[in-house]
Amino acid sequence: MRHRTQPRRRGLRITVWSLVAVLLVGTGLVGAVLWQNSYDMDERRVSIRHGGHVLNGVLAVPRDGRERHGLVVYVHGDGPTDATHDDGYKPIWEASAKAGYASLSWDKPGVAGAPGNWLDQSMDDRADETAAAIAWARARPDIDGDRIGLWGASQAGWVLPKVAARTPVSFVVAVSPAINWLRQGRYNLLAELRAEGASAARTEAETARSDAVRELLARRASFEEYLAAMGGDAHGMTADRWGFVSRNHTADATRDLVALRGVPVLLVLAGRDINVDTADTERGYREALDTGGAGGALTVEHYPDAAHSLLKRSVEQSELGLTLTALFSPRSLFADGFLDGQRQFLDGLGRAPRQR
């Protein structure tokens, strides 16, 4: 009996220690994720009243012991975005915090329980919303009202100069913005077709469909008319989305950019952007802002290996790689130097702009 019990006990010990090892590894992984996703700033939920409803926001404040901070106000790109952009903003907020700046962002209407529907908005509506948030921030004793600026990506490029025309801002960070809505759409279509290796016949067919959609938009066609013209195939379009595109397809930042003259502007461009024609964007910004003298406050930074979102292209292309990097090293999602560039721009406000 005794010699039979020992192997059983030995097997039990092996099983127990195996379970302990699994638990330790699991605990270590959880700890690593929690540590990597902890940021050197304090986040507070805030409520901002605007137009009879409330904007549900997040204010991220540096832990530097100062009573007042400058502020970066975030303007989202396209899509149903919450205040933190699914935590994707947090590494950028931390970079701003290192430069002594707080960050403010809010849920788009209809997102994360917020009232309204973001697809009902025009670019002017979005600018009004942002101006209201700035007014709210200026009334706070912990925010330096003379150091409030804007950060916006992609679609925000049509919003940022409109905000600057409504209320004073001390700087603007424009990440992957476009100039003209229709030109951007055509560029994106052709770039995606090239990336997919589309045949000449498919490219011709997709271009013709795009032309048909433009004609429908130009004559303010209804969603029902769009469906009929597409032979009943919505191609992913919804009635709400059609309303949004119809409301905003004439957007063009060319004239609005004049409102940014004299304001320090950081234009951030990705080398592997298939959404926006970065050459067209840079040309438009330089023509409007790179005028020398008091208006020469444009800084342009290029990130050759970045995608439209300023994530590393290699990371963005792999769903598994994207998920693992977001969990275990979220700051590594972004193109090399991007986060440091954000901090350095804020650190350098008041000094001569850099040209790259």
Q: How high is the pLDDT of residue 28?
A: 55
Among 203, 198, 192, 206, CA closest to 307: 192
For residue 43, what are the β-bridge partners?
A: 60
Quick one: average pLDDT of 330-347? 94
With bands split at pLDDT 50, 70 and 90, how would you rate the model's confidence at 144?
Answer: very high
The pLDDT value recorded for residue 46 is: 97
Q: Do 207 and 189 touch, CB atoms closer than 8 A?
A: yes
Q: Is the alpha carbon torsion for 78, 134, 347, 330 positive or negative?
A: negative
Region 290-308: what's the mean pLDDT?
81
pLDDT tens-digit series, residues 87-100: 999 999 999 999 99
pLDDT in the model for residue 38: 77
Do strands 41-50 and 53-62 pair parallel, antiparallel, or not at all (unpaired)? antiparallel
Place of tokens 């004439």: 250
Cα–Cα dist 299/4, whole Å: 78
CA–CA dist 179, 307 (Å, integer): 18
Nearest C-alpha neighbor of 127 from the set 180, 68, 172: 172
Question: Residue 207: which pLDDT band, with cuts at 50, 70 and 90?
Answer: very high
pLDDT digits (tens, 9 = 90+) for 26-39: 555 455 454 456 79
Nearest to 231 by CA among 192, 204, 205: 205
Closest CA to 160 of 285, 259, 50: 259
The one-letter code for the residue type at 203 is: T
Question: Picking from 25-34, 230-239, 252-261, which range would have the lowest pLDDT averaged per residue?
Answer: 25-34
Band (pLDDT 50/70/90 cuts) for residue 17 is: low
Q: What is the pLDDT of residues 44-86, one digit of tens each?
A: 999 999 888 899 999 999 999 999 999 999 999 999 999 999 9
Secondary structure letter of residue 335 according to DSSP: P
* Nearest residue to 107 via CA among 123, 96, 118, 119: 118
Rounded percentage of the chain residues whose pLDDT exceeds 70: 86
**Mean pLDDT across 233-243:** 97
Place of tokens 């709400």: 240
Binned at pLDDT 50, 70 and 90, residue 328 comes out as confident
Q: Is residue 292 left, alpha or beta, with left meaning phi > 0 and alpha meaning psi from -120 to 50?
A: left
Mean pLDDT, the chain, integer: 89
φ/ψ region of 119 (left if φ > 0, alpha if ψ in -120 to 50, else beta) reads alpha
The HSE-up count of residue 262 (CA atoms within 13 Å, CB side) is 7
With a pLDDT cut of 90, the percent of the chain lying above it is: 78
Specify the 3-state DSSP secondary structure of 175. Answer: strand
Which residues make Cβ contacts (< 8 Å) with residue 320, sequence separation at least 6?
Answer: none
**Do 179 and 102 contact (CB within 8 A), yes or no?**
no
Whole-angstrom Cα distance, residue 10 to residue 252?
75
Instruction: Work out the average pLDDT over 101-120.
Output: 96
Asked if residue 7 has pLDDT above 60, the reply is no
DSSP 8-state secondary structure symbol assigned to residue 163: H
Q: Is 46 helix (H, G, I), strand (E, B) or coil?
A: strand
In the chain, count H helices and then E strands: 12, 8
- For residue 124, pLDDT over 90 is answered with yes
Q: Are 163 and 131 within 8 A, CB to CB? A: yes
